[in-house]
Amino acid sequence: MLGCLARHGLLVAICCSLLLTSFTPAAPTRPSRFLLLSERPPALIEYDPTLPKHQQTLRSARLPLQDFGNRGPEGIALIPNADVERFGLPQVEGHGYIIVTIEAKGQLYFLEWLDDNSIQRHFTRNLPQIENDISALQYQDGTLWVMASSQHNLYEYDLATLIATNAPARIIYPLETIKSRYTDIEGIYIEQPAVSVLANDSGQELLVIDTYSDCLEDFNCQVLQRFEPIPDVSDITWDSVNNRFIFVSGKHDYSQISELNLVTEEIRELHRIWTDLEGIVAVP
């Protein structure tokens, strides 16, 4: 199947994915949308897991970025149009500005997904403290969280200041405070003051942490829940419409999209797609 992707490009890849998708019977859910980040091929996919299988992929497009192979797209975040004025940015088409990172570079790419289905690159921002290995992003109410996996650090940026001046992070949290195999955190969902979740690829686990930044500052992080083994777990986001976490992971030649219920501790597969997914973000 990966040969199919390489030879015929993204649109055929998506068609292959839909034909070979397997599903698990699902409980009723309300429509919710996500942006999926693919590393191979480097692409964006808009996806709704609540629709019938032939309708779940809403659209897809290649990224206008250099192809770095296995060192390609890793992190994704979304600045919704409702927030862009606070950063001095104009409104854009689609859901807002999409921020993507490349593992080979310590750089943020600010993109717009146009109504004609092309993706336009607006501007970039360097992160002077991070040369490469940006593995995860999350935007939340003016703050941009950036995970640099090889440095074992989580960086907290004020996004307005970062856009205006390329300023350094206002706080850096070392991951040594977490008692776990933390060496390759590829996905983050930060929620304060509630629990937060880390997707630890090398440890093949999802870690639920209490009040993430506070526990790091106090050097007393508590792992409340641990879900394992989850091979090649890459990213996680919150589906506020259906009150559940959605995460992406890999297995053999395909990626899995799964639901995580922290109350019942149940993991349920929603979808399989024959492309290398590295990121997911919910669309408000």
Q: Could you tell me the residue ranges of all domains in the chain?
A: 2-282
Per cent of the chain over pLDDT 70 is 83
Q: Check residue 46 and give its pLDDT.
A: 96
Q: Are 227 and 249 in contact (CB under 8 A)?
A: no
Res 159 pLDDT > 90: yes
CATH number of 2-282: 2.110.10.10
pLDDT classification of 28: cutoffs 50, 70, 90: low
Res 75 pLDDT > 80: yes
Q: Check residue 145 and give its pLDDT.
A: 94
Average pLDDT over residues 17-24: 35
Average pLDDT over residues 40-59: 91
Res 263 pLDDT > 80: yes
Q: What is the pLDDT of residues 162-212, one digit of tens each?
A: 999 989 999 888 877 665 555 688 999 988 667 789 999 988 999 988 765
Res 31 pLDDT > 90: no
pLDDT classification of 10: cutoffs 50, 70, 90: very low
Q: Are 13 and 41 in contact (CB under 8 A)?
A: yes
Average pLDDT over residues 209-223: 67
Higher pLDDT, 151 or 118: 118
Q: Check residue 152 and give its pLDDT.
A: 84
pLDDT classification of 260: cutoffs 50, 70, 90: very high
Q: Are 63 and 72 in contact (CB under 8 A)?
A: no
Q: Check residue 218 and give its pLDDT.
A: 66
What is the Cα gyration radius of the chain?
Answer: 18
Nearest to 168 by CA among 150, 182, 185, 148: 148
Average pLDDT over residues 239-248: 93
Res 8 pLDDT > 50: no
Per cent of the chain over pLDDT 90 is 56
Res 112 pLDDT > 60: yes
Average pLDDT over residues 28-35: 85
Res 85 pLDDT > 70: yes
